[in-house]
Structure 1
């Protein structure tokens, strides 16, 4: 899908949030060029004109194909600029006049044919010029949208703090290249913090809400030592600025100290944890409403603390992934796909998942989709700490810690519910 963007560090310039002093200098972003109309000669329209003339010459007396020469400049208007259209039109008029004169047509009839062909040519020139202006405007709008996306969804570098990072984002609106899904990953004095969310609805209103959430998150992530306080800041801001029927599902996570991951789930699809080659869904211990709806329910989110060590991986995603359907209306089984494609390189894993997702839906997503994968470098995937292959049985679950706040549940496979989607499709739009 053309609008998909691989936000890994080797494909995008590093965003300003990578404020580490030891980070490499941001590479210059390649200058985007505005696509132009076809600059080459109008070969196909000219061949069509020649073919019509040949058919007319071989058809004999009693049948004329000359009026069909108008197809040449009309077709050129869809593929070439005004100059190419004019060349094809003049060629068609000259050949048409020659054929009519050779066939003994009256001069008056020849003039009518030439006038008709030139009129079609003039209209085609104007249509080609108008199309060129529209294409330039569209290219400028796409460039602005892509710049806005780059500023809003700042692409993370390949490494942030202790994490290897890979992101893949696809907007449902291919022309806009930006949508209502959001993500951010920031190193702070309180550890690396991240958010992945999904705004209700699509289009510019969803983009505005996503920008609001990300702005508040980036500010609060630096200021608030408590992750729940970060979530509360976002909630208060949305309560002041959103309509009563708008909301944002989100997972906010933090890595305050080595070996410990904090997760706050606000009505979002549960993250998938990969440990010892086993994929488990981090289900919230106490379900909480989406951001923006707390005042209606009175429920507050809970903080889950998970062990997260060397070789562990965490996949955060939006429901555009798990609710993607194929021709048989089957949901994409994300947990199974992650089990198949997990490796030591998060970028390779995310790319394989995205490609498989597109193949599942037939090449075009109908909802915004985001994938954010984190990995702490350590033992290679599928190996234990001593370098020997792990022998855990397929589908086995992680041992549950004694503290229920640390528990994660095995990912159910084969259905959308297997990945724990937090809201149904009817609530999202």
Structure 2
């Protein structure tokens, strides 16, 4: 277009220098090869304009051709540098994603009679995990799960999150009761803080809230031990019930309590019920006016969701709309639905 217009306008109007726009625009969406090709076409167009007007050998046109060639070469060079950095970033990002997924492995969609869906929203950009954690493991008579929240958020809290996840996976099936399991996890967290936290005035500020859950394969009485964590929600038909612990224990890594001081709360988790576990990054998400996200009220309108994944899809969309797409803290949610056991009597 520039070449055609330059030929059609009066001879005293020179638009040839504008040809540098072509490689400059190409570099914004293409790689160095296509940019170099467009730069060569721009140089050829400048030469064609000079030949058309019979002024190719003049000093002015020669300088224009040389300048266009130099500028095109610089644009190609910067395009190559940008592509190289983009490839390096992609490699680093893929390694980070692999490491994060290895640490916070996705929960299986089915464990016995349980249908499970999980959602993790990291507060830090380009991160997939942070200070929130969850995992599940099979036991001889059911499933044990943990959901927790490390003080702080983002990648700086991953170390303590990894510690608790590793400890839970090792000892989850080695203790007869949830209080005994809580004591073992508290001991692991406390040892970590003593050995690895160097700044003395921050030692007392490191802790992990956690909710331990034991869901038997046979029977419907589910047990939980709450260590300073937000209470789960039980969705039953058209009702939402908050399962508040009668005597919640302090977070892990704070008090070093004996097993007798960790409470066990029981509740009925029947076929068709959905249990919703979450971290405080969900309920503390604020809208533009500073109001917290009313999780229990919002969930009440989705009690008829056909699957845990459908429920979490509703929550995700509504939560991000509430906080304008930016969370101030990591948020994790697990939805567990009990279905009829297809093979009763089999663990």
Shift of 1:212: 0.9
Matches within 5 A, 1:55-70: 55-70=5-20
Number of aligned positions between the proteins: 326
- Per-residue CA deviation, residues 336-390 of structure 1 (Å, 9 max, x unaligned), is 2211112242121112221222333334544322210111125xxxxxxxxxxxx
Question: Taking structure 1 as reference, are residues 104 and 192 closer, same or farther at Cα in structure 2, changes over 3 Å only?
Answer: same
Q: 1:293 aligns with which of 243, 249, 254?
A: 254
Task: Name the residue aligned to 2:129.
Answer: 178
Instruction: State the TM-score, normalizing by the size of structure 1.
Output: 0.70
Structure 1 residues 369, 57: closer, same or farther in 2, change over 3 A?
Answer: farther
**Residue 299 of structure 2 is aligned with which of 319, 324, 338?**
338
2-structure distance, mates of 1:234, 1:170: 25
Separation of aligned partners in 1, 2:129 and 2:14: 53
2:240 is aligned to 279
Instruction: Calculate the TM-score normalised by the size of structure 2.
Output: 0.85
Cα RMSD between the aligned structures? Answer: 2.5
Residues 63 and 326 (structure 1 numbering): CA distance in 2 closer, same or farther, change over 3 Å? Answer: farther
- In structure 2, relative to structure 1, the CA distance for the partners of 1:190 and 1:91 (3 Å cut) is same
Match of 1:349 among 300, 308, 311: 311
Give matches, 1:138-287, under 5 Å: 138-242=89-193, 243=197, 244=203, 245-256=205-216, 258-287=219-248
Q: Is the 8 A contact 1:180 1:207 kept in 2?
A: yes
Once the two structures are superposed, residues 315-338 of structure 1 have per-residue CA deviations (whole angstroms, 9 ceiling, x without a partner) of 001222222233343332211221
Aligned match of 1:317 in 278, 299, 324? 278
Q: CA deviation at 1:55?
A: 4.4
> Structure 1: where are the runs of 5+ without partners?
1-50, 379-429
Gapped regions of structure 2 (runs ≥ 5): 198-202, 341-347
Are residues 1:120 and 2:71 paired? Answer: yes
Q: Is the 8 A contact 1:146 1:178 kept in 2?
A: no
- The answer to whether the Cα contact below 8 Å between 1:161 and 1:187 also exists between their aligned partners in 2 is no
| DSSP 3-state at the match of 2:106 | coil
CA distance in 2, matches of 1:99, 1:293: 79
The 8 Å contact of residues 124 and 155 in structure 2, kept in 1 or not, is answered as: no
CA distance in 2, matches of 1:60, 1:235: 84
Residues 143 and 280 of structure 1: CA distance in aligned 2, closer, same or farther (over 3 Å): same
Contact 2:183 2:256 in 1 (8 A): no
CA contact (8 A) 1:275 1:312 kept: yes
1:241 Cα offset (Å): 1.3
TM-fit CA distance, 1:90: 1.0
